Amino acid sequence: MGEEVVKKPKRKERMPMPEQDPKVRATNFKEVPLGYTEEMAIEEAIRCAQCKVPACVCGCPVNINIPAFIKEIAEGNFAAAARKIKETNALPAVCGRVCPQESQCEAQCVYNRMGRAICIGRLERFAADYERDNNLIELPEKAQPNGKKVAVVGSGPSGLTVAGDLIQLGYEVTIFEAFHKPGGVLMYGIPEFRLPKAIVESEVNYLVQLGVKIQYNSIVGKTVEVDELLGEKGYDAVFIGVGAGLPKFLGIPGENYGGVYSANEYLTRSNLMKAYKFPEYDTPIVMGKRVCVIGGGNVAMDSARTAVRLGADTYIVYRRAREQMPARGEEIHHAEEEGVKMMLLTNPVEIIGDEDNMAKALKCVKMELGEPDESGRSRPVEIEGSEHDIEFDLIINSIGANANPLLTKSTEGLELNKWGYIVADDYGKTSKDNVWAAGDIVTGMATVIEAMGAGRMSAMDIHEKLMGVPKNIEISPEALPDDLECTLPETKK
């Protein structure tokens, strides 16, 4: 099969992934992209140049050996491909779905210059799904128990990564999770149609099979304190990966009316509590006929696409221009395909309620782009006299999060920055002895894979501090030669 490619003179385009039709999927919560078939995966995999110095690996926060797993797919060894990925990433089916590959591994692909980067994310997803769906998951060999105990606070992306890394190195690992389900943002934040919950549970189950213990309904800072974990509970280290967690509100009048949600609440009701299946599940949700989501990030898109599926006429209200939306292009595209409408350069100034304090309209002003601000984006400036009311019966605030003080306030000796985030070095080490932290509670809101990458660093540092094993210094994009040239398939061999 490889030879065929060598001879092929024409470079192939990226292999598209089949998706549910927008009209159909706007009425269900099933996953939107359907995944590659085996044939599609092989065809895409054999496009890979197998670069000697693979820049894609540097673009991956957990440094997956991308050429190696793609080679396995090209050769039809799908389960082997999944195992290759799992050497450095315990959550391939999750990452294959939610990573922003276009700005990470695929951005570094030599073919990206021609707009034909290898579809690394789709292949990752394919390999992981193949292994899981065919019951081919095998547990890797673990190191001998080293007698050290580590407590991981939070079972989101960073916590799961730390747990997965340390369990394989011989540690006894217990995750303390506040909710009744694992996964953190993967479970409560990202909707089913983007990341099926059965897949999250399956990837977590892989860690459980490796020996990771999960204590649900345990709120560190309340049910148990960090100092208790390090003291009487006998843990040698504590890793904090609790996420950012506290929703931001706009601070405009009327925000506490009924029918005004934080995106956190809206998505948690729908995703974790399965309110979209009400009344089969007991948790209700305000459905709304005309719904407005305030914000332009990925969470706003998730909220809007959820509202569409719950039958609402849905709008995004964003105070800047489309080009400035922080959401992934793919998410915006999917939202619009499903019927979400954009009200750009529109800034909410007040929520208007009815006689029973339920939201009924949003007062907005129109904006225009002015001089660039400190973020380098043109600052939106209000157009005078442009105030207008737009009728909505459900308003979802999706403008970000602040640091949740629940754990940090109850933990002495943990240095915080002025916004309440934990101060940690590049390896997640905090100011408190034997305590590491990573993910959103250190950096503020970021991506799943960034949290995983940071978790990886913490795991290595914990291993060095507790067992004296020096950290594996990872290659970084800066370390690559400037004149990096990869061999293209047709000239290879």
Partner 1 sequence: MYEIVSMKELVPDIFEAVVKAPEMAKKAKAGEFLIVMADEKGERIPLTVADYDREAGTITIVFMTIGKSTYKLSKMKAGDSYYAFVGPLGHASEIKDYGTVICVAGGVGTAPIYPIARALKKAGNKIITIQGARNKDLIFWEDKMASVSDEHIIMTDDGTHGRKGLVTEPLKEILERDGDKVGIIYAIGPIPMMKFSALTSKPFGNLTMVSLNSIMVDGTGMCGGCRCEVKGETKFTCVDGPEFDGHQVDWNLLGSRQRIYLDQEKESLDNYKAEEGA
What residues line the site for partner 1 (CB under 8 A)? 178-180, 216-219, 222-224, 245-247, 249, 255-259, 261-262, 264-265, 268-269, 273-274, 278-284, 286, 356-358, 404-406
Is 357 or 431 the residue whose CB approaches partner 1 more closely?
357
Q: Which residues contact 159 (CB under 8 A, 6 or more apart)?
A: 152, 153, 175, 184, 239, 241, 439, 455
Start-to-end C-alpha separation, the chain: 14
Tell me the closest approach of the beta carbon of residue 129 to partner 1, in angstroms: 25
In Å, what is the CA distance from 193 to each residue of 321, 326, 395, 423, 449? 27, 20, 21, 35, 19
Is 8 or 289 the residue whose CB approaches partner 1 more closely?
289
Tell me the closest approach of the beta carbon of residue 444 to partner 1, in angstroms: 15
Q: What's the CA gap between 151 and 239, in Å, rounded?
A: 6
Is 233 or 465 the residue whose CB approaches partner 1 more closely?
233
Tell me the closest approach of the beta carbon of residue 260 to partner 1, in angstroms: 9
Tell me the closest approach of the beta carbon of residue 269 to partner 1, in angstroms: 6
Q: Which two tokens stand for residue 222?
A: 């309340």
Q: Is the CB of residue 306 less than 8 Å from the CB of residue 291? A: no
Is 208 or 369 the residue whose CB approaches partner 1 more closely?
208
Is 171 or 261 the residue whose CB approaches partner 1 more closely?
261
Is 80 or 406 the residue whose CB approaches partner 1 more closely?
406
Q: Is the CB of residue 174 less than 8 Å from the CB of residue 147? A: no
Tell me the closest approach of the beta carbon of residue 291 to partner 1, in angstroms: 15
Is 99 or 267 the residue whose CB approaches partner 1 more closely?
267
Tell me the closest approach of the beta carbon of residue 255 to partner 1, in angstroms: 7
Tell me the closest approach of the beta carbon of residue 304 to partner 1, in angstroms: 18
Is 24 or 249 the residue whose CB approaches partner 1 more closely?
249
Tell me the closest approach of the beta carbon of residue 31 to partner 1, in angstroms: 22
